[in-house]
């Protein structure tokens, strides 16, 4: 009888190990992931635009190690220079629900890799692909679009708000305005 | 006799371990001498106490007692001797403890007193390497290097210790004791080497996955040699003039290397990983993990996680024919 109780407990405990599964050695041969995303529903011809999401994003979004690595790279690579701690500065805010170029992780990866008009530089070949995915996962965690268990806890530095883990679950609204501060001077 | 030979061998080997470039018992500086003296005094006194205790125990065990002795019958003479013995033992214990406390206090006075040094360094512990900044009154003479400290012989050098992520501990056993490097505060420690030489240090506070591969080398030189080294370190990297190294430099500047590493004199200005301006002149790469050779640099670039699993250096996309020029460029940054 007791065995039936213990076994699920052990299974649950072991399942929790997945939360921080650490993959140090990204395979460089698959370095550039081949996600395809569409920013608008328009395309040439009768069929809609083709999209391809490999599911790689889930691996990054639901893994606490990847997200906290992303958090580290976010300051190392000076993302906070323009986006501040997610509240935005000369770049748009990242912790809100508005996503000019889409808020799915694949969209954010593409934004980092390719760059966007009005200031976002392209980091292709400057940041290794797995690190781009990690940063994107962290950016997703700012609006808490990742599971609570995987989102980062309190930072060591001063923080403008509650830790990502304590924020209410967010939603993603595609579209949105380029803020006046990020627009080119007319 | 046959048993004695391996025993002697083991003792010799153990004593030989006291010598070396990373040994607190092979003291080469005033602070380390104080510590080594303390160690030997403690060993001598406590060893004597141990031997006396063991001898007394053996004597007591071997002495036969009359089988039918009545424990309730006491002899005043024996009682008096026992009281005396125990009083003397308690007295000696008190004297030993007080002497040791005094000695420790005196040693700490020596260890934590800072003389005015000609040189001040800022050492920042990071996962898993040491950033070293040589401070100077002239801002143009301030420079940053990593995992290797050069000091002039016979002069006290003040080291300010900081940490950027977790607690580390700075320990050069031949020169001084340990001092923690704690995020958000600054600790200070002074080192001084009496003789020119090479002294290895090690992080002494568990700091994560590669704590064991967080070494640092201290090189004590004469004042002239030290000044020559410093003048060279202050300068920017010299641009390569052979085609292979020029190609290596192009590769370096167009790859993720520049996101973290700095090479003064080029566009690479990252501040979160070791400064590579004169990496070829350092003895080791990866914080004491590998000696600086072209082959090791190539191995480190191609597969950092094979050498030092979990290190923050990522695996990057490189074509096979790009490895050689890149390693050659970095090796040449003397």
pLDDT tens by residue, A85-108: 888 888 899 988 888 888 899 999
Q: Which range has the top average pLDDT, A30-44, A62-76, B19-33? A: A62-76
Task: Parse chain A into domains and list their residue ranges.
Answer: 54-155+162-181
Task: Give pLDDT, residue A186.
Answer: 46
Chain A to chain B Cβ contacts (< 8 Å):
42
pLDDT digit string, tens, across residues B110-126: 888 877 777 999 999 99
From the candidates B255, B314, B320, B322, which should be mutated to test the interface with A, based on the most A CB atoms within 10 A? B314
CA-CA distance, B93 to B75, in Å (whole number)?
Answer: 27
In this prediction the ipTM stands at: 0.80
The answer, yes or no, to whether residue B30 has pLDDT greater than 70, is yes
Structural domain includes residue B64: no
CA-CA distance, B257 to B314, in Å (whole number)?
Answer: 9
The answer, yes or no, to whether residue B316 has pLDDT greater than 90, is no
Structural domain includes residue B276: yes
Q: Where are the beta strands (DSSP E) in B153-302?
A: 157-163, 168-171, 179-181, 187-191, 197-203, 215-221, 284-285, 290-291
For residues B127 and B312, the answer to whether their CB atoms sit within 8 Å is yes
Residues B310 and B248 in one domain: yes
The answer, yes or no, to whether residue A185 has pLDDT greater than 60, is no
Residues B134 and B203 in one domain: yes
Say whether B314 and A76 touch across the interface (CB within 8 A). Answer: no
Residue B169: which CATH number? 2.60.40.420
Q: Average per-residue pLDDT in chain B? A: 90
CA-CA distance, B148 to B132, in Å (whole number)?
Answer: 8
Structural domain includes residue B129: yes
Q: Which residue has the higher pLDDT, B4 or B79?
A: B79
Residues B218 and B299 in one domain: no
Q: Which residues of A touch B255 (CB under 8 A)?
A: 125-126
Say whether A24 and B259 touch across the interface (CB within 8 A). Answer: no
Domain that holds residue B303: 243-331
Q: Which two tokens stand for residue A123?
A: 């980091």
Q: Give the total number of structural domains in chain B.
A: 2
Say whether B259 and A77 touch across the interface (CB within 8 A). Answer: yes
pLDDT average, residue stretch A31-60 = 82
Q: Which residues of A touch B183 (CB under 8 A)?
A: 156
From B256's Cα to the closest Cα of chain A, the distance in A is 4
Task: Give pLDDT, residue B124.
Answer: 96
For residues A70 and A59, the answer to whether their CB atoms sit within 8 Å is no
Task: Give pLDDT, residue A9.
Answer: 78
Of B259, B272, B315, the CB nearest to A28: B315
The answer, yes or no, to whether residue B234 has pLDDT greater than 90, is yes
Say whether B314 and A31 touch across the interface (CB within 8 A). Answer: no
Task: Give pLDDT, residue A113.
Answer: 93
Domain end marker among B222, B251, B285: B222
A124 touches B at CB < 8 Å: no
Considering only CA atoms, which of B326, B332, B289 is closest in space to residue B309?
A: B289
Say whether A76 and B259 touch across the interface (CB within 8 A). Answer: yes
Structural domain includes residue B67: no
Of A28, A125, A127, the CB nearest to B254: A125
- B130 by DSSP, 3-state: which? strand
Residues in chain A: 186
Residues B28 and B176 in one domain: yes
The answer, yes or no, to whether residue A176 has pLDDT greater than 90, is no
CA-CA distance, A184 to A117, in Å (whole number)?
Answer: 9
Give the chain B residue nearest A75 (alpha carbons).
B272
Q: pLDDT band for B91, please (50, 70, 90 cuts).
A: very high
Residues sharing a CB contact under 8 Å with residue A79, sequence separation 6 or more, in sequence order: A73, A135
Structural domain includes residue B169: yes
Q: Which residues of B touch A156 (CB under 8 A)?
A: 183-184
Q: pLDDT band for A28, please (50, 70, 90 cuts).
A: low
Structural domain includes residue B102: yes
Percentage of residues of chain B with pLDDT beyond 90: 72
Say whether B310 and A126 touch across the interface (CB within 8 A). Answer: no
Domain end marker among B222, B257, B282: B222
- A98 by DSSP, 3-state: which? strand
Residues B212 and B270 in one domain: no
Residues B196 and B92 in one domain: yes
The answer, yes or no, to whether residue B141 has pLDDT greater than 80, is yes
Residues B160 and B277 in one domain: no
Q: pLDDT band for B73, please (50, 70, 90 cuts).
A: confident
The domain A54-155+162-181 belongs to what CATH superfamily?
Answer: Cytochrome c-like domain (1.10.760.10)
Considering only CA atoms, which of A177, A149, A152, A25 is closest in space to residue A85?
A: A152
The answer, yes or no, to whether residue A30 has pLDDT greater than 60, is no
Residues B24 and B152 in one domain: yes
Q: Which residues of B touch A128 (CB under 8 A)?
A: 256, 314-317
Say whether A127 and B258 touch across the interface (CB within 8 A). Answer: no
Say whether A25 and B318 touch across the interface (CB within 8 A). Answer: no
Task: Give pLDDT, residue A36.
Answer: 85
> Using alpha carbons only, what angle is made at residue A125 by residues A122 and A126, rounded to the nearest 5 degrees?
70
Torsion angles phi and psi, residue B101, rounded to 5 = -60, -45
The DSSP symbol for B275 reads B
Task: Give pLDDT, residue A73.
Answer: 94
């Amino acid at each position: 009888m007791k065995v039936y109780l213990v076994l699920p407990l052990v299974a649950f405990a072991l399942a929790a190990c997945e939360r921080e599964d650490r993959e140090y050695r990204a395979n460089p041969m698959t370095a550039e992931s081949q996600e395809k995303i569409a920013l608008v529903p328009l395309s040439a011809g009768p069929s809609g635009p083709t999209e391809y999401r490999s599911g790689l994003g889930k691996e990054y979004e639901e893994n606490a190690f990847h997200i906290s690595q992303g958090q580290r790279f976010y300051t190392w690579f000076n993302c906070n220079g323009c986006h501040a701690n997610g509240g935005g500065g000369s770049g748009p805010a990242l912790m809100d629900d508005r996503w000019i170029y889409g808020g799915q992780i694949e969209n954010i990866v593409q934004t980092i890799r390719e760059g966007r008009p009005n200031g976002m530089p392209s980091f292709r070949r400057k940041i290794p692909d797995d690190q781009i995915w990690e940063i994107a996962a962290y950016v997703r965690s700012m609006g808490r679009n990742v599971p609570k268990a995987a989102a980062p806890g309190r930072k060591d530095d001063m923080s403008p708000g509650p830790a990502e883990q304590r924020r209410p679950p967010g939603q993603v609204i595609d579209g949105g305005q380029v803020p006046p501060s990020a627009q080119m001077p007319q | 006799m046959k048993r004695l030979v391996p025993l002697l061998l083991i003792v010799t080997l153990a004593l030989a371990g006291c010598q070396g470039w990373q040994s607190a018992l092979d003291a080469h500086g005033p602070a380390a001498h104080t510590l080594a003296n303390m160690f030997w005094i403690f060993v001598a006194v406590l060893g004597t106490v141990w031997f006396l205790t063991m001898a007394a125990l053996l004597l007591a065990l071997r002495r036969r007692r009359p089988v039918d002795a009545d424990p309730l019958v006491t002899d005043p003479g024996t009682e008096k001797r026992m009281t005396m013995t125990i009083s003397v033992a308690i007295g000696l214990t008190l004297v030993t403890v007080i002497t040791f406390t005094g000695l420790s206090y005196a040693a700490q006075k020596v260890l934590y007193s800072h003389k005015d040094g000609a040189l001040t360094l800022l050492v920042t512990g990071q996962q898993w390497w040491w950033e070293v900044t040589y401070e100077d009154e002239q801002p143009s003479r301030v420079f940053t290097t990593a995992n290797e400290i050069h000091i002039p012989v016979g002069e006290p050098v003040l080291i300010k210790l900081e940490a950027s992520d977790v607690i580390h501990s700075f320990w050069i056993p031949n020169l001084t004791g340990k001092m923690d490097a704690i995020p958000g505060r600054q600790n200070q420690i002074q080192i001084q080497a009496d003789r020119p030489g090479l002294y290895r240090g090690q992080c002494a506070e568990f700091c994560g996955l590669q704590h064991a591969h967080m070494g640092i080398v201290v090189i004590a030189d004469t004042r002239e040699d030290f000044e020559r080294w410093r003048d060279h370190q202050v300068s920017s990297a010299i641009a390569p003039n052979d085609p292979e190294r020029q190609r290596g430099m192009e590769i370096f500047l167009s790859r993720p290397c520049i996101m973290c590493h700095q090479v003064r004199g080029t566009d690479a200005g990252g501040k979160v990983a070791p400064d590579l301006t004169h990496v070829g002149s350092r003895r080791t790469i990866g914080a004491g993990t590998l000696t600086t050779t072209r082959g090791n640099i190539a191995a480190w670039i191609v597969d950092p996680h094979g050498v030092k699993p979990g290190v923050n250096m990522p695996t990057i996309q490189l074509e096979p024919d790009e490895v050689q020029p890149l390693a050659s460029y970095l090796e040449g940054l003397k």
